[in-house]
Amino acid sequence: MNRLFNQFFSSLERGKVVLFGKVAIGGSGAATINAVKSKGILSVAKNSTGNYTITLNDIYVDMYSCDIKFLGSSDPGVAYTYTVSQAVNTTKAIVIQCKDNSGAAVDPASGSEMQIEIKLKSSTAP
């Protein structure tokens, strides 16, 4: 990995990396990434209703967590999201699914903003 990360991060884990991203949600759940505010995230693509693939710029050893929030809409339509799969150590991809209160797949509301926080491990050291 050839990225310059800030050195100090209070954690018992070595090589901890946190990536942040912002994505504008348009009509039919279309995703437009804000590249300036999404360093380390290459793209966010919609696969199907409420289902998105987040592709990272780099390969990582492991993923600790992926937290998604939706802001800026009076009715985001999304009760919760969860990580369907992650392959940060091979394809650099994380797949998430948005669902409503009944558990049905749902697109986030047009005009909302997807905020992403991904915690990763970049070192094989224990």
Per-residue pLDDT 10s for the chain (126 aa) are: 556 666 666 777 788 899 999 999 999 999 999 999 999 999 999 999 999 999 999 999 999 999 999 998 666 678 888 999 999 999 999 999 999 888 999 999 999 999 999 999 987 776
Whether the full predicted model's pTM is greater than 0.85, yes or no, is yes
**What is the Cα–Cα distance from 58 to 55, expressed in whole angstroms?**
9
Token reading at 122: 């970049």
Q: Are 120 and 30 in contact (CB under 8 A)?
A: no
Distance (Å, rounded) from C-alpha 62 to C-alpha 105? Answer: 27
Are the beta carbons of 67 and 56 closer than 8 angstroms? no
Task: Give the Cα separation of 45 and 39 in Å (integer).
Answer: 16
> Is the CB of residue 94 less than 8 Å from the CB of residue 63?
yes
